[in-house]
Structure 1
Amino acid sequence: MRLALPTAVLVTALTACSAAPPAAVTPVQATPSSTPSVTASAMPRASAGAGEGLPAKLRFTQIAQFDKPVAFAVRKGDDAVYIAEQGGRLHAVKGARTTMIVDLSAEVSKGNEQGLLGVAFHPSGKWLYLDWTDAEGTTHVTEWAFDGTTAKQRRDVLTQDQPYANHNGGQLAFGPDGYLYIGLGDGGGGGDPQGNGQKLTTWLGKILRIDPRGEPYVVPEDNPFKDTRGARPEIWAYGLRNPWRFSFDKETGDLWIGDVGQDSWEEVDHEPRGRGGRNYGWNAFEGDRPFDQGVEAEAAVEPVITYQLGEGGSCSVIAGYVYRGTKIPGLRGHFLYGDFCAGWIRAAPVDDPARTVEVGKVEQLSSFGQGNDSELYALSLQGPVYRVDAP
């Protein structure tokens, strides 16, 4: 049985990787090496010429070093970038200076798929949100008031009991609508033993959508299942195994979801802006292939990118962002994603996502980030945080 991200390979990474104490470092150049190609298959079919104009290899410039960095965020009107370590600490990096903002290291669980997993700032910049698992394995989405220096007035927005230690999801992101989207895995175990992916009575195996500025939060009136009897009204999307990372396209508002697979297929799902209520198929399907033929998945939506587990050493998809920056013109309009074990990073044109091109490599790729200027970053569980640059 294969676990979600982090995978069994990540167990070794978490126990064997020894990183220096968190500190900003002088930027250095990291030249990606070539890796075995990974075949991507998807709908719609690829068209000739997709990917033309892309740089042959991107450059990865190290800006900082941390202990198992797993999540990245920026804040409105703030020049700092914020890095979350799986061990429970959130840091602000501004130039050569690093400042610890929140320390949950005494509270987070230490399992290989647990800990501090996600970070996001409210669009106003006034509130900070972290996704983390406590000593009992329970998922918390916790809010702090934040003035750019001090995090205070801590409160839990929501919590979710986890039946197993794996498949915790962890992604937090504010959408173009100003609401908070929360990724939760199917609860763990192999093959979704509780059938949570297809159940609308649980948050597990879902992406939730809420307004966190409530008591404790508010469910938006246009959530797709708000008026569905028996369904949890916070649900935005379902049929997901472990949506470790997802992101919104800054230009279109579309949602791109990397859902970590079981034994055979990794997948990326694409959701047009505002198209909530979609079923992404797990556990009736893994990728675009049948998984459990005894499970019905009504109106399941096929992924736009799939690749086979094991090709080039692959194991867990890491969703990135659609590039909308200005420094790498040939990359504009391409979705970046990668694989934790293989380390390769690929670019897929948004209008033809099956046509992927390998553009670099980051060992033990754990996450991507997007700056206020729309330039991109890549995080390695080994410790480095890289800015993505032109060759």
Structure 2
Amino acid sequence: MKKFYLFFIVLSFGWVAAQEDVNIQQIATGFNSPVNIQNAGDDRLFIVEQNGVIKILNDDGSTNSNPFLDISSQISSGGERGLLGLAFHPNYQNNRLFYIYYTNPSGDSVLSQFETSSIDPDEAIPASENVMLVITQPFSNHNGGCIAFGDDGFLYVATGDGGSSGDPNGNAQNLNSLLGKILRFDVDVAAPYIPSNNPYVNDPNVMDEIYAYGLRNPWKFSFDETTGDIWIADVGQNQFEEINKSASAEAINYGWRCYEASSNFNTTGCDPQSTMEFPFAEYSHTATSLSKCSVTGGYVYRGSEFPNLTGKFLFADFCSDEIGTVDTTGNITYFGPFSGNGFSTFGTDRQSNLYIAGLSTGTIYKIVDDNLSVDISHQKRINIYPIPTQGVINIEAQEIIKKIEVISFTGKVIKTIYSNKKNTRLSVEFASGAYFIKSTYLDGKHQVNKFIVQ
């Protein structure tokens, strides 16, 4: 028997489904080189500053005067070094554990565990640090730095190829090096934290931590919260930027330094192309009239507020200050430029709203879609029940609903009912997943509710 769990955010707007119009809305400013935005499952956003400070941005737009964590004294910061990654344990609300990735004064990359105070949830305990991994870096650039938990509960860590130019040491294709890789750790077991099902644990010629390889500088990656797909934005060399999408990155060779995106770079000694996975989307540095240089990932939008963005991966280019969307076929659309920002990271809140940070401006913005004009004064109260339901949704409104559409998370209308009444009983026989109900009133205004089929 299917169970249908419903939750909704009621918005009154005209929905232009054909094309989004991405814009940014300032939320807060005054940060020092923000490079990461995370949430801990509550209303706070944690803003990571490159110099080694993590600050708390509250939902009213205020920033706490005292930092959540300050380890600036043990950070080497500047260029591509610094405090780069933050991830909260999936059971953070109970165990108060979180993880960071930073550059130490020797120039090495460090993965560490910390604990938050049991007395003050806005304060971490610096002395609680447990160093889990140290990676020697041969050069100052290409440190990677993004860390995130997957649906499997394991911690994924992105490392760059070690730097300089062109991966001179061949690290990305070397399975005896942790550089140019996606690593995977089980933080709930003893050191060295290796999951028993990592793809190479039984291969004496490959380091156990490795989950995927062939990456140049995967500055940011994320997991699609609906499908679980991993999206990796890998910074290119001189000509191309690449965006990888995989249902699972397990044992995948993404091709660097043999290929820059899908173009030959240095194929000497490389394995056949058939053993590699090429980008889901890529763009050249001259794709538009604005010069590009470095891709910043990036999340698949799964919020409720802007249905036109649903299912699309959003990214930015650090040099052109453009924001791009990648649709389900790999096509890219650019918006902007939003000049002067130097976009360094994206992040989400617990409602899956999407944010972006300007490294140069120290500003946090919310991603919005200008094609959706929300008029709060025209909101109409709607009730959907029962929760959970067994195949039927009851829709009750205070005004007559002219038309009801059920829309998939890819934006496809899969069911339409011409109601012309306030109350409607809707049969729901869909596959598990997330959907929208779009209700159109007699005055032409629309209201969108999001629901989940499980």
Q: Deviation at 1:364?
A: 0.4
Q: 1:253 aligns with which of 228, 233, 240?
A: 228
Look up the SS of the partner of 2:73 in the other structure.
coil
Look up the SS of the partner of 1:330 in the other structure.
helix
- Which residue is equivalent to 2:50? 86
- Which residue is equivalent to 1:352? 329
Pair 1:68 & 2:25 matched: no
For 1:150, give the aligned amino acid.
E
List per-residue Cα deviations over 1:136-171 (Å, max 9, x = no partner).
101011111124233222111111010000100000
Hey, what's the Cα distance between the residues in 1 that align with 2:322 and 2:108? 32
Larger-Rg structure: 2
Structure 1-normalised TM-score?
0.83
For 1:135, give the aligned amino acid.
P
Pair 1:97 & 2:50 matched: no
Hey, what's the Cα distance between the residues in 2 that align with 1:79 and 1:371? 7
Q: 2:124 aligns with which of 115, 140, 151?
A: 151
The answer (yes or no) to whether the contact 1:337–1:346 under 8 Å persists in 2 is yes
Count of residues paired in the alignment = 337
- Which residue is equivalent to 2:261? 287
Pair 1:121 & 2:121 matched: no
For 1:86, give the aligned amino acid.
Q
Q: Deviation at 1:275?
A: 4.4
Give runs of aligned pairs for residues 265-280 of structure 1, distance below 5 A. 265-272=240-247, 274-280=248-254
Pair 1:239 & 2:214 matched: yes
- Which residue is equivalent to 2:199? 224
Pair 1:137 & 2:107 matched: yes
Hey, what's the Cα distance between the residues in 1 that align with 2:276 and 2:249? 14
For 2:363, give the aligned amino acid.
P
For 2:44, give the aligned amino acid.
A
List per-residue Cα deviations over 1:175-222 (Å, max 9, x = no partner).
111110001000111111110110111110001010123333421122
Look up the SS of the partner of 1:257 in the other structure.
strand
Look up the SS of the partner of 1:372 in the other structure.
coil
- Which residue is equivalent to 1:31? none
Structure 2-normalised TM-score?
0.72
Give runs of aligned pairs for residues 358-369 of structure 1, distance below 5 A. 358-362=334-338, 363-369=341-347
Hey, what's the Cα distance between the residues in 2 that align with 1:111 and 1:93? 23
- Which residue is equivalent to 2:157? 182
For 1:292, give the aligned amino acid.
N
Q: Deviation at 1:310?
A: 4.3
Q: Deviation at 1:323?
A: 0.3
For 2:212, give the aligned amino acid.
A
Hey, what's the Cα distance between the residues in 1 that align with 2:233 and 2:160? 12
Q: Deviation at 1:305?
A: 1.1
For 1:307, give the aligned amino acid.
Y
The answer (yes or no) to whether the contact 1:197–1:283 under 8 Å persists in 2 is yes
Look up the SS of the partner of 2:29 in the other structure.
strand
Pair 1:166 & 2:141 matched: yes
For 1:332, give the aligned amino acid.
T
For 1:285, give the aligned amino acid.
Y
Look up the SS of the partner of 1:97 in the other structure.
coil
- Which residue is equivalent to 1:336? 314
Q: Deviation at 1:264?
A: 1.2
Q: Deviation at 1:271?
A: 1.0
Look up the SS of the partner of 1:106 in the other structure.
helix
The answer (yes or no) to whether the contact 1:198–1:297 under 8 Å persists in 2 is no
The answer (yes or no) to whether the contact 1:283–1:295 under 8 Å persists in 2 is no
The answer (yes or no) to whether the contact 1:65–1:385 under 8 Å persists in 2 is no
Pair 1:55 & 2:34 matched: no
Look up the SS of the partner of 2:255 in the other structure.
coil
